[in-house]
Chains A and B, each alone.
Chain A
Amino acid sequence: MLAVRTLSAAALAALLWAPALLAQHAATAARVEVSQSSLALEVGDSTRLSAKVFNAAGNEIDAPVVFFSSSRRRLAVSRDGKVEALRGGEYQVIAVVRSAFDVRERIPVTVAYPPVTRVDVHGGAERLFEGAAVKHTARVFDAVGDRRREVPVVWSTDNTSVATVDRYGVLLAHKGGNVTLIARAGGITSSHRYRVERNPISSVRLTASADSARTGDVIHFSVEALDGSGRAVTGAPVTYTLVPSPDDSIVAASPAGEVDDTGRFVAELPGDYTVLADVAGNLARRTVRITPRQASQQVKLVGRAPVRDVRTSDLWIWEGVDGRDYAVTGTHSAKGAAYFWDVTDAAAPELVDSVVVDARTVNDVKISEDGRIAVISREGASNRRNGFVILDVTNPRDVETISAFDDGLTGGVHNVFIYRGHVYAVNNGRRFDVINIEDPKTPYRVGQFELDTPGHAIHDIWVVDGIAYTSNWGDGVVLIDVGNGVAGGSPSNPVEIARYADFGGATHAAFPYRSPTGKFYVFMGDERGRPGFDGLGQDTPSRMAGYIHVVDFTDHKSPEEVARYEIPEAGSHNLWIEDDRLYAAFYNGGLRVVDVSGELKGNLGAQGREIGHYMSYDPEGNVANAPLVWGPQPYKGNVYFSDMNSGLWTVKVEPRQQPTP
């Protein structure tokens, strides 16, 4: 044993890394030779590759070779060398000696793009008059359904005296007559027949829903085209353009407003804006004045309940059955604790009880409508059976555990919501389960809902008026009837109503809001992590990314993303909307309070809609002076929010002060 003890590190390493048999085996394979050095295939072709393995002396040896593809979904390769071209592109087949993976050969494969089979033309107009200019776009698809962006589209018309089209698909009508617009790509054409009518329009009247407004307010422009007799001409295409003239006090103002093809206009900066409407060569203009929104108000600290030894997660504030006000906060990557606070005096929250369950993370905490039941989620249970725990909070100073539910929820419940005697629990990031807790001692499952899209996932759920709003990362937000009745759903039979996926695909939290304008918005918050591989340690401030997408669900059959709220240097997390105010947790960007009154359009953050923000700096925080705001809740005139690094905070949005000359 002494001999072993005194072996050098190198000798011990040799014992570990040099099993003689393997070294010999690996050394024998020195080169692999594949039957073809490259492949050129058509989609649908298949061929078979074979390989020979040689040792260092150049002698062929018997060693198995494994083949695989650099892109399995586009070029299928079986382990024994069968190659099948599924989609066009440049790929590689990689052949490796199974016993010596460093002995490999890469075979370049070119799969010719299949022929273009379809050109879809979008845009255009219902009617075309002399002098009109109408934009078109084209999408090109090949035989296997791939969109072929690299294939050029050549536009033309069959009668250039009637209409011409430029290289970007803008059709200009010159005189009356029939004309065919042609989009040609990859030998395939798509055409659209127009009849250019004599232009009957003699005047255009441009109206606006308001002559002046504040930044962020939406003004609707509309056009009325009239013929020489003063009769309305319908169906004529309208092109809106904008001439901004920001206040001269604004340095380096970029285009500070936008008007879309339906005439909706919004400005980010104060000034005069002239909207031009081009109706078949007939121009009309109208100028509106935009004034500062003057939304800013002070956000002042009211009180706080520091939690500095562990990270804080979600919160809920409620009025207890004793009429006092309470808060519950969870903990993250910690000890499975939930803290209960008396916040009746918001300036001096008092810790009144705590509960510790077998978990590392209590990510979510929710209170029933009657203030008697709390549900806290569990993740990181020592027996890997997570689920949630039901608590009696009738007396928040003496919280008692009623029951735990983990049947089928072992993978961890990340978020929950309580609604009318049921817990809606996000189950293992894949679906939500509905658990009846009318008798909280004996909870039982009554239903569940899971998307059917490939690779689907769910992160959060929120229930309002019998509709569950689930946040599903790449699948966006999904509205599900769990008792509203609009789609015949119930807790035991959740029925999907609608869904919307934004382009970014990082939907993490959603909050519905019925605006006094009659619009029904769903605010979809992203969550995006830090850039990968940055090597930052745990003690450095976190920085997240992502923003809030505002989707107009007024017509739930055709939701439209209309606005965003973004802070470039921080990422969104949980949010709450009440009385035309968005309260948004933006991690390292602190708490943000945003005016979401009126119709919403464009980049809200650039429109002066931010009322205020609060940065929760805490020199003694988990990470010092590093705000990491998790979630907000407005309550009785204050705004409570949790910060991962420093606990529970209470702030107040002060009444707006009138400037004193």
Chain B
Amino acid sequence: MARTLLAALPLGALLWVGLPLPSPPSPSYLIYVAAESDDQVALVRFTPEAGFTVEKTIPVGWWDQEIEAPHGVTVDPSGAAWYLTLGHGFPFGSLVKYRTGVDTAVGVATLGLFPATVAIAPAGGMAIVVNADFHGDKVASDLSIIDLETMLEIARPETCTMPHGSRFSPDGSRHYSVCMVDDQLVELDVDRLEVARRLPLTLADAPAISAEGAHCMPTWVIPNAAGSALYVACNMGNQILEVDVAAWRIARRLAAAGRPYNLALTHDGARLLATLKGQGAVGVWDVATGQRLAVIESTRRVTHGVIVTPDDRYAFVSVEGIGGEPGTVDAIDLELLEKVASVDIGKQAGGIAFWKVADPPVE
């Protein structure tokens, strides 16, 4: 009866009597997460009230009995397609295009040796994949630049040994990657499809905040929303570097024990998140002050990727696990700075990408 009466009251009446507004159900967040050692991609839904559900497990690759190592995943800005790198081929890896929702593969491009991180230009249409060649001879590798309509490779500029991380500048005119072996940050001029600048990232002249010597071994780079700064994870150097894009120099160093691996910024630019792969945790920093706000333990060991929801409310973290452990996706409440949910998926959860905010599932 009370519910009936309440429903009959006009909104103004509720406000007048001072009753709280009924909260609309929270939206759900849908993400894709790759499980590298199971040749699967999980479509995962997170709803604040209900936590995680695995909506779908998508088998990927062509060879059931050979691990093809899905590594990097990203969603087209239009939300219509998602893209996956397969690290292992015979010998070359590939970029596979899937329709979102139906999750059907609709195109493939052959890339270089062990393609890893993939990024799509902000305006869509073009992807840049780092051919990481993790395990080959320590020789220079390259980037594959792919037209996403035709899935043709446009160009393959050489960058450095073991390139990793792939992100466009917000205006799409520049692309950034790092060199795990060569300790470099590489800027690509997207108009010319040529390397524009390189920045050495050696820690030799840095303050002694690294216990492991001068090797940065950068694994990730992201720009801030203005494109004025870049953040680079020095995985071996246990630092996060802030690079002034205009001056093209390291402007600040943040101590980041625990082998920082992937990075994410909140969209307001206030917080920086880093997966601490060696520690099995996620670190959160205040960008303005450089102060570390929290270290949030992951459900399992070997924390890999991190993304932030468009409303900056949650972060989702992929955790590889070890051996036969399943991979895991953790949700971190960015207000509470606490892990609030987790769900297991296939083994070695790695690449993670945000698809969309959706209405919650109908009960």
Contact = CB atoms under 8 A, between A and B. Distances in A.
Bound together = yes
A177 to B, nearest CB: 56
Contacts of A101: 121, 123-126, 147-149
Interface stretch (B2-10, B11-19, B63-71, B243-251): B63-71
Interface in B51-80: 57, 59, 61-67, 77-79
Contacts of B61: 529
A1 to B, nearest CB: 7
A260 B135 CA distance: 48
A503 interface: no
A249 interface: no
B150 A79 contact: no
Contacts of B36: 380
B335 A334 contact: no
Interface string B324-354: 1100000000010000000000011000001
Given A7-B311, A21-B171, A332-B65, A429 B90 contact: yes
Interface string A66-79: 10111010000001
A429 B91 contact: yes
B129 to A, nearest CB: 16
A412 B91 contact: no
B324 A94 contact: no
B350 to A, nearest CB: 11
Given A94-B147, A333-B37, A382-B302, A16 B357 contact: yes
A411 B135 contact: yes
A9 B170 CA distance: 24
Contacts of A4: 311-313
A456 interface: yes
B65 A336 contact: no
B38 A99 contact: no
Contacts of B347: 333, 360, 380
Contacts of A7: 27, 311
Contacts of A573: 65
Contacts of A6: 23-24
Contact of B125 (A16, A21, A100, A332): A100
A455 B94 CA distance: 14
Given A72-B153, A310-B324, A382-B322, A530 B124 contact: no
Contacts of B114: 411
Q: How large is the interface on B (under 10, 10 to 19, 20 to 34, 35 or more residues)?
A: 35 or more
Contact of A16 (B105, B150, B323, B356): B356
Interface in A43-77: 64, 66, 68-70, 72
Please indicate which of the listed interface residues A333, A336, A411, A628 has the most CB atoms of chain B within 10 Å of its own CB.
A333
Given A25-B123, A429-B91, A538-B40, A19 B104 contact: no
B191 interface: yes
A19 B171 CA distance: 10
Contacts of A80: 192
Interface string A321-365: 000000000001111110000000000000000001111110000
B116 to A, nearest CB: 11
B59 A537 contact: yes
A12 B357 contact: yes
B21 to A, nearest CB: 9
Contact of A66 (B104, B150, B154): B154
A535 B222 CA distance: 34
Contact of A457 (B90, B124, B302, B356): B90
B181 to A, nearest CB: 12
Nearest to A1: B335
Contacts of B27: 7-9, 12
Given A16-B357, A25-B123, A70-B152, A538 B104 contact: no
Contacts of B154: 66, 68, 79
Interface string B255-273: 0000000000001000000
A26 interface: yes
B324 A334 contact: yes
Nearest to B191: A64
A536 interface: yes
Contact of A333 (B38, B172, B311, B354): B38
Interface in A348-399: 356-361, 379-380, 382, 384
Contacts of A455: 91-92
Nearest to A411: B135
A355 to B, nearest CB: 12
Interface in B289-319: 301-302, 310-313
Nearest to A532: B62
B128 to A, nearest CB: 12
Interface string A525-562: 00101101101111000101000000000000000000
B300 to A, nearest CB: 10
Nearest to B301: A382
B358 interface: yes
Nearest to A9: B27
A100 B123 contact: yes
A358 B123 contact: no
A101 B123 CA distance: 7
A94 B323 contact: no
Contact of A70 (B39, B40, B150, B170): B150
A474 interface: yes
A644 B66 CA distance: 12
B65 A587 contact: yes
B323 A336 contact: yes
Given A22-B171, A380-B347, A428 B136 contact: yes
A538 B312 CA distance: 35
B314 to A, nearest CB: 11
Given A4-B311, A68-B152, A430-B91, A538 B65 contact: no
Interface string A1-29: 10011111100110111010110011000
A359 B323 contact: yes
Contact of A544 (B65, B172, B313, B354): B65
Given A101-B121, A455-B91, A430 B136 contact: yes
Q: Which 3 A-B pairs have the closest CB atoms?
A: A101-B125, A335-B324, A411-B135
28 contacts: A5-B311, A8-B24, A13-B79, A13-B310, A15-B311, A22-B171, A66-B154, A70-B152, A72-B152, A79-B155, A102-B125, A332-B65, A333-B38, A335-B325, A356-B324, A361-B37, A380-B67, A380-B347, A384-B134, A455-B91, A456-B91, A457-B91, A459-B90, A527-B65, A533-B106, A544-B65, A587-B65, A628-B65
Interface of B: 23-24, 26-28, 36-40, 57, 59, 61-67, 77-79, 88, 90-92, 104-106, 108, 114, 121-126, 134-136, 147-150, 152-155, 170-172, 190-193, 267, 301-302, 310-313, 320-325, 335, 347-348, 354, 356-359
Given A98-B191, A310-B324, 15 more contacts: A5-B26, A66-B191, A99-B172, A101-B125, A102-B124, A335-B323, A356-B324, A357-B323, A380-B36, A382-B320, A411-B134, A529-B66, A542-B65, A573-B65, A630-B65
